[in-house]
Amino acid sequence: MNELQVFEYNENQIRTFVDDKCNPWLVAKDVCGVLGYAMSSSIAQLITNVPMEWKGIKPIDTPGGEQEMLCLSEQGLYFFLARSDKPSALPFQKWIAGDVIPSIRRTGSYSREISRKELAMLVIQAEEEKEKLLIENKSMKPKVEFFDAVTGSKSAIDIGSVAKVLNFRNIGRNTLFRFLRDHKVLMSDNIPYQEYIDRNYFRTIEQKWRTPEGETRITIKTVVYQRGVDFIRKLLVKKGFENQHMHLIGER
């Protein structure tokens, strides 16, 4: 069943939906209310003469939760209105048949005319949202430009810089190293597994340095290519970490 839609007729709300066979249905209680039947009356009794195949119990969302309610199909509605003694039955039927049902069949919904006041409110809300986005985009622009510069470069950066440019919540240099070790991207000494070097995600560089005693030492440093930065980002997202400006960068 499609989403419940509500429209108004003479300040009365009519709940309607389209079933999985594209057939419109209306809540019988709402129809009876429009015609002026007392709500103390039994809805089931009011529509007792409607054939069974044109009425039925349907799940309807209400402020108190989902409830089972009597509903009328399009055929059931016309059958009911044709036998009603209420003066409002014929105008209501003309409006349903000439306006609402054709609109539902064309678009899957009924769109009532928006008043000038409502239109003005929508414009104000849109402008407020636009201003909010402009402020947010301005504050995020340096981070996005930095990300684009790094991932668009052929050079490699260290793991600390990767953590900064990706800007994931609670992911710093040491946490990122641990994450990559835990997920078998880096070995225990923070050197990438050969598989990821072959994919051009990482490379290692030798760094020579001298101790105060004059002894030469060599350390291996892992750096990350642009493809590796994107690989790490996608792996963090897959594992449920939150990127603090993902909505601006998007999935690359």
Query: Residue 120: what pLDDT?
Result: 60
Query: Residue 10: what pLDDT?
Result: 83
Query: Residue 52: what pLDDT?
Result: 92
The closest of 112, 220, 71, 110 to 158, measured between CA atoms, is 220
Query: Residue 226: what pLDDT?
Result: 85
Please give the single-letter amino acid code of residue 15: R
Query: Residue 17: what pLDDT?
Result: 85
Query: Residue 137: what pLDDT?
Result: 57
Burial string for 80-118 (b: 16+ CB within 10 Å, else e) reads bbeebeeeebeebbeebeeebbeebeeeeebeeeeeeee
Instruction: Identify any residues that bridge with 56 across adjacent strands, giving them in sequence order.
Output: 71
**Residue ranges in the chain modelled with pLDDT below 70:** 1-3, 39-41, 106-154, 209, 243-252
Q: Is the pTM of this model over 0.75?
A: no
Give 133's contacts (C-beta < 8 A, 6+ positions apart): none
Domain range summary for the chain, segments of one domain joined by +: 5-107, 140-249
